[in-house]
Amino acid sequence: MLCGLTVVWCVFVLAVTVLLGGFRLIWQQAFAQNVIASLLVLPLGLAIGVVIGTLLQKYSLRFQVRHAADTLGDGVRLATFKFILFLKTECRIPIDVAGPVNRGLVERARDVAQRSFVESGWSFPLPPDFEFKIQETVDGLASCFRSLPDLRMAFPHSFDLMQDLEATVLSIKAGSSRSDPDNTALILLHFAGEMIGDLE
């Protein structure tokens, strides 16, 4: 391969020399010396180019993975935050939503919701579309993970959590598992908090 590159390089130098200076430059001693010097430098230049190219590709791939992970995390946080806002505005659960949408917010929302459910004797007045909002949130979270399946290798725990959440909610809907809607909401917030923590 190096011989082939050497031939290509010599032909290229000859062509450029003839094009810019004519055939008379080829017969000068300085031309031959410069060609030999460039051939000595060529392998070093190629080696440096390969190293730099490999490093750039490596960091470019890391950047792409980080960007995709941020996109996934943003989708998960948005779907979770919308559900937390529903609990605050429609269910009148006094959740403080100030600050960043992170694991801390989700855990705080879960704790406040659980306290509200317990204080009401698990008879908290829930709106008619409460179970629909739970399913909508689970579907929204699942779609985030389905849109970026290549990230499973980087974040296997988050993908496993999503599968477990889907299976749990499906089992509850089918009647195979027993869980009231308010308790299912707490399960959803627990899983969402774990996923956001893993993606942060």
pLDDT in 10s for each residue of the chain, 200 residues: 545 555 665 566 556 555 555 555 555 555 555 555 555 555 555 555 554 555 445 555 566 667 778 889 999 999 999 999 999 999 999 999 998 999 999 999 999 999 999 999 988 999 999 999 999 999 999 999 999 888 888 889 999 999 999 999 999 988 888 889 999 999 999 999 999 999 88
Distance in angstroms (rounded) separating the CA atoms of residues 120 and 185: 16
Angle between helices 29-89 and 2-21 (to 10 degrees): 110
Q: Is the pTM of this model over 0.85?
A: no
